[in-house]
Structure 1
Amino acid sequence: MTAVRLAHLGGGRAWLRRCVGTPLNAALTAAALGLLALALPPLLRWAVLDAVWSGPPSACRGAAGACWAFIAAKLRFILVGLYPPAAAWRAVAAAGLLGGLVLLSAHPRLWRPWLLGAWAAGLAATLWLLGGGGGLEPVASRLWGGLPLTLLLTAGGLVAGFPLGVALALARRSRRRTPRLLATVVIETVRGLPLIVILYVASLVFPLMLPGGISVDKLLRAGAGMTLFAAAYIAEAVRAALQAVPRGQAEAALSLGLRPTLVLLLVVLPQGLKMAIPSLVTIAIGFFQDTSLVAVIGVFDLLNTTRAATLDSEWLGFHDEAYSFVAAVYFVVCAAASHYGLWLERRLNPERRR
Structure 2
Amino acid sequence: MSDTHQHSIVFVRETMLPEQDPPVTERGIVKWMRQNLFSSIPNGILTLAALVAIYVLLANFLPWFLNGIWDAPSIRACREILDGGVGGCFAVLTERWNQLLFGFQYPDTEYWRPTLAFVLLFVAIAPVMFYKLFPKPMLFFTGLYPFLAYWLIWGGSIWSPIFALLGFVAGYVVWTRLVSKSFAAGFFGAIVAAFVVWTVGGYIVPALTPEETALVAVPSRDMGGFMLNMILGTVCVALSLPFGIALALGRQSDMPIIKWICVIFIEFIRGVPLITLLFVANVVLAYFLPPGTTFDLILRVIIMITMFASAYIAEVIRGGLAALPRGQYEAADSLGLDYPQAMRLIILPQALKISIPGIVNVAVGLFKDTTLVSVISMFDLVGMIRGPILASTEWNGVYWELLGFAAFLFFVVCYGISQYSQWLERQLQTDHR
Q: TM-score, normalization: structure 1?
A: 0.89
Task: Give the drift of 1:123.
Answer: 1.9
Per-residue CA deviation, residues 69-90 of structure 1 (Å, 9 max, x unaligned), is 2111111111000211121222
Report which stretch shifted further, 324-333 or 104-113. 104-113
Q: 1:1-354 counterparts in 2 under 5 A? A: 17=35, 19-48=37-66, 50-57=67-74, 58-62=76-80, 63=82, 64-81=86-103, 82-109=105-132, 118-134=141-157, 135-307=214-386, 308-351=388-431, 354=433
In 2, the alpha carbon distance for the partners of 1:227 and 1:207 equals 18
In 1, the alpha carbon distance for the partners of 2:47 and 2:91 equals 37
Secondary structure in 1 aligned to 2:416? helix
Task: Give the drift of 1:156.
Answer: 0.8
Unpaired segments ≥5 residues, structure 2: 1-26, 158-213
Secondary structure in 1 aligned to 2:283? helix
Q: TM-score, normalization: structure 2?
A: 0.74
Task: Give the drift of 1:190.
Answer: 0.5
| 4+ long deviations beyond 6 Å | 12-16, 110-116
Unpaired segments ≥5 residues, structure 1: 1-8
Change beyond 3 A, Cα 1:215–1:15: farther
Q: Is the 8 A contact 2:64 2:88 kept in 1?
A: yes
In 2, the alpha carbon distance for the partners of 1:147 and 1:97 equals 17
Higher RCO (C-alpha 8 Å, min separation 6) = 1
The percent identity for this pair of structures is: 37
Task: Give the drift of 1:160.
Answer: 1.2
In 1, the alpha carbon distance for the partners of 2:300 and 2:41 equals 55
Task: Give the drift of 1:92.
Answer: 1.9
Task: Give the drift of 1:163.
Answer: 0.8
In 1, the alpha carbon distance for the partners of 2:427 and 2:402 equals 38
* Aligned residue identity for 2:232: L
Report which stretch shifted further, 32-41 or 98-107. 98-107
Report which stretch shifted further, 20-29 or 129-138. 20-29
Secondary structure in 1 aligned to 2:293? coil
Q: Which structure would you say has the larger Rg? A: 2
* Aligned residue identity for 2:226: L
Change beyond 3 A, Cα 1:240–1:224: same
In 1, the alpha carbon distance for the partners of 2:138 and 2:269 equals 29
Q: Is the 8 A contact 1:52 1:59 kept in 2?
A: no
* Aligned residue identity for 1:80: F
In 1, the alpha carbon distance for the partners of 2:260 and 2:43 equals 49
Change beyond 3 A, Cα 1:137–1:243: same
Q: Is the 8 A contact 2:328 2:347 kept in 1?
A: yes
* Aligned residue identity for 2:147: A
Change beyond 3 A, Cα 1:261–1:16: farther
Change beyond 3 A, Cα 1:169–1:110: farther
Q: Is the 8 A contact 2:106 2:223 kept in 1?
A: yes
* Aligned residue identity for 1:32: A
In 2, the alpha carbon distance for the partners of 1:284 and 1:102 equals 16
Q: Is the 8 A contact 2:389 2:396 kept in 1?
A: no
Task: Give the drift of 1:139.
Answer: 1.1
Report which stretch shifted further, 83-92 or 180-189. 83-92
In 2, the alpha carbon distance for the partners of 1:16 and 1:332 equals 33
Change beyond 3 A, Cα 1:278–1:312: same
Task: Give the drift of 1:257.
Answer: 2.3
In 1, the alpha carbon distance for the partners of 2:335 and 2:230 equals 45
Task: Give the drift of 1:260.
Answer: 3.2
In 2, the alpha carbon distance for the partners of 1:319 and 1:122 equals 37
Report which stretch shifted further, 224-233 or 103-112. 103-112
Per-residue CA deviation, residues 7-46 of structure 1 (Å, 9 max, x unaligned), is xx9xx98997454444433332222221111111110000
Secondary structure in 2 aligned to 1:221? helix
